A and B are shown apart, each in its own frame.
Chain A
Amino acid sequence: MATPVLEIDGLSKRFGGVAAVDGVSLSLEPGRIYGLIGPNGSGKTTLFNCITGIERRDAGRVMFNGERIDGLKPYEIARKGIGRTFQVIRVFPELSALENLLVVTRGGLADAEARALELLRFVRLEGLRNEYAGNLSYGQQKLVEFVRVLMRDPSLILLDEPAAGVNRTLLNDLLDAVRRLRDEGRTVLLVEHDMKVVMGLCETVFVLDHGEKIAEGEPGVIQTDERVIEAYFGR
C-alpha cells in the first residue's frame, strides 16, 4: 500500500458544547476520489477547516504525505499542496476572473497567465476573464473558485459541496474535471449531498454523524448500512 496522502488520527473540534468533529480518523490514498457525506451539521465543513488550518483542532493529528501539518498556518498548508473550495463561495469579488487565478501564483507571470487562461478556457469562462468575479453567476463563481484551486497545482483537493447550485451542463463539466484530476494522480475529497453524484464519482465514502465517523466504504455498500440509514432518516 502506498503512503497515504492524508492521514487523520483522532481529530476533534468542539464549539462550546458542540462536538463538531469527534475523534475522526481516516486515510486517503493517492489518485482516488473520496466522498464525505452526512446530515447537515454533522461536521463535514469543520473537518475541512481543521485539515486546512482555518480552525485549530482540539485534539488529534493530521499528516500530509507523511508530514505533520496540524498546527501550521492555513497558507503554509496550502503551499504544501492542499487546495480547497468553500461551501459558501469565496471568490475575490472585485478582482477579475483572471486576477482571481493569477493572484494565488508565484514565480513567472507569463507562465501563470498562460496557465490561468488555459484553466478559464477549460471551464468556458475565457470570454469573461476581465469581468469582476463578483458579477458572474453563482455557477460561474463556483467554477472560478474551482480552477483557482488548481493554479497552485495541489496534490490533495478538498471540495465542499461543489455541485450545489450548479446547473446540469456545468455540473457534468465539473465532474469530468474532477475525474481528470484523479487521472493525473491527484486525490480528491468532496462533500456532496446528491447521492447520484457521489455514486457516480467516489470510490470510497466516509459518513459523518454528529461529528463522528459512523461508516466508511464503497458507495453502494454505504447506502445499505443501517447506521447510515438511521443517521439520515432515523430521527
Chain B
Amino acid sequence: MLVVALAVYPTFGTGYGVRAMLQIFMWIALAGSWNLISGLTGYVSFGHVAFFGAGAYTGAILISKASWPWLAAALAGGVGACAVALVIGYPCLRLKGPYFAIAMLGLNEVLRALVSYFEGLTGGGSGLSLPTLHATVPIYYAMAGTAATVTLLTYLIITSRFGLRLMTIREDELAAEAMGIDTARHKLYAFLLSAVGPGIAGALAARDQGYIEPISVFPLATTITMIVMVLFGGKGTVWGPVLGAVVLFVSQEFVWARFPYLHQLLFGAIIVAVVLLMPRGVLGLLQVKYRLPRTI
C-alpha cells in the first residue's frame, strides 16, 4: 500500500511535496547507513557526511567533466565513497571510542580541504555546476530505491550471524575476539557497507541540486542530524532510522520552519531529551520493554 502510494506520488504530488519526499528518502539512506556502522558495532562515526560529500563530488565530476549519465554517476558515487572508506577504514577502525569519532571528524575536514584545493577538478571553493537537467521525478525514484536498499540491507544484516557478530563488537569487542571473531574484518565490512548509501545519496543530491560546493556537501550538521535520527528512532534496529528520519524531517519542515529562531533550540532540546530519557530510542525502548524481535 505504502509502496504503491509512494510510487505513484510524483504523478499527482506538488513540486514541493515531491522534493520533500526526496529529502526524506535521502535522510533514511543516510541515517540507515550510519546505523550500520555505529548502531551495530558501537563505533560512533562523527564524520559520516564525508561519504555523502565524496559521493557528491565523484558523481558531479563524472557528470560535468565526463558527461556520465546521472544514474551511472550515482552508482559511481557509491563506489567512490566506498573507496574512501577502504583507505581510511583500516587505520581508523583500530581506534576506540572517542578517538574513532574524532578521526572521522578529521576525515571530513581533510576531504573538504582536498576538494577546495584541487580547483581544476572540483571548482574549489567556488563550487561545481552541473548542466541543467529536469529529472526530479527519476531522481525521486532513485533516492527511494537507495533508501529501500539500505533498509533491506539492514534487515538482512540484523537477521544474520554476520549482524550478530557486528553486535558483539558493540557488546564486548575483546570477548568477541577471544571467541574467534575477526573483529577487525567485521568492522571494516560494516564500515564499507555504511559508506555506499551516503555515496549514492550524495551523487543523487548533487544531480538534483545542480550545484555543489565544499561547504554544502561536508557540513558537520548533516552528520549530527543522521546521528540524532538514529538515536531517536532506535540504534541497532531496522526501522529506527526510518522512523527517526521521517519524524525529525517532518517536524523540521512543518513545525520548526514556522519558528525559525527556535529551530536550533528545539533540535538541541530533542538531542538532550533523547539521550537522557530514551537512550535506546523509540523502537529500542519498545524492543526491550515488550521483547520484540530484532527485526523491528
Cβ-defined contact, B172 with A74, below 8 A = no
Main secondary structure of the interface of A (DSSP, over half): loop
Main secondary structure of the interface of B (DSSP, over half): helix
A93 to B170, CA, bound (A): 10
CB of A197 within 8 A of chain B?
no
Cβ-defined contact, B177 with A104, below 8 A = no
Q: Which one of B56-64, B148-156, B160-168 is at the interface?
A: B160-168
Cβ-defined contact, A78 with B171, below 8 A = no
**What A residues does B181 contact at CB under 8 A?**
75, 103-104
Cβ-defined contact, B179 with A148, below 8 A = yes
CB of B136 within 8 A of chain A?
no
Nearest to B178 among chain A residues (CB) is A74
Nearest to B168 among chain A residues (CB) is A92
CB of B255 within 8 A of chain A?
no
Interface centre among A99, A104, A148 (most CB of B within 10 A): A104
CB of A129 within 8 A of chain B?
no
Interface centre among B171, B177, B180, B182 (most CB of A within 10 A): B180
**What A residues does B174 contact at CB under 8 A?**
54, 74, 90
**What B residues does A73 contact at CB under 8 A?**
177, 182
Residues of chain B at interface, number, CB under 8 A: 19
B31 to chain A, nearest CB (A): 21
A132 to B176, CA, bound (A): 17
**What A residues does B167 contact at CB under 8 A?**
92, 94-95, 103
Partner of A54, one of B177, B180, B182: B177
CB of B252 within 8 A of chain A?
no
CB-CB contacts below 8 Å: A58-95 with B: 73-75, 78-79, 83-84, 86, 90-95
A105 to B164, CA, bound (A): 11
CB-CB contacts below 8 Å: B172-220 with A: 172, 174-183
Cβ-defined contact, A54 with B178, below 8 A = yes
A120 to chain B, nearest CB (A): 16
Cβ-defined contact, B183 with A102, below 8 A = no
Cβ-defined contact, B177 with A103, below 8 A = no
Partner of A92, one of B161, B175, B177, B288: B175
If the complex has contacts A103-B161, A105-B161, A109-B161, are A78 and B168 also in contact, measured as CB distance less than 8 A? no
B175 to chain A, nearest CB (A): 4
CB of A52 within 8 A of chain B?
yes
Nearest to B160 among chain A residues (CB) is A109
If the complex has contacts A92-B167, A102-B161, are A52 and B172 also in contact, measured as CB distance less than 8 A? no
Partner of A78, one of B172, B179, B288: B179
Partner of B180, one of A75, A92, A93, A99: A75
In the A-B complex, the 10 residue pairs with the smallest Cβ-Cβ separation, listed nearest first, are A78-B180, A90-B175, A92-B171, A74-B177, A103-B164, A104-B179, A79-B180, A75-B182, A75-B177, A92-B168
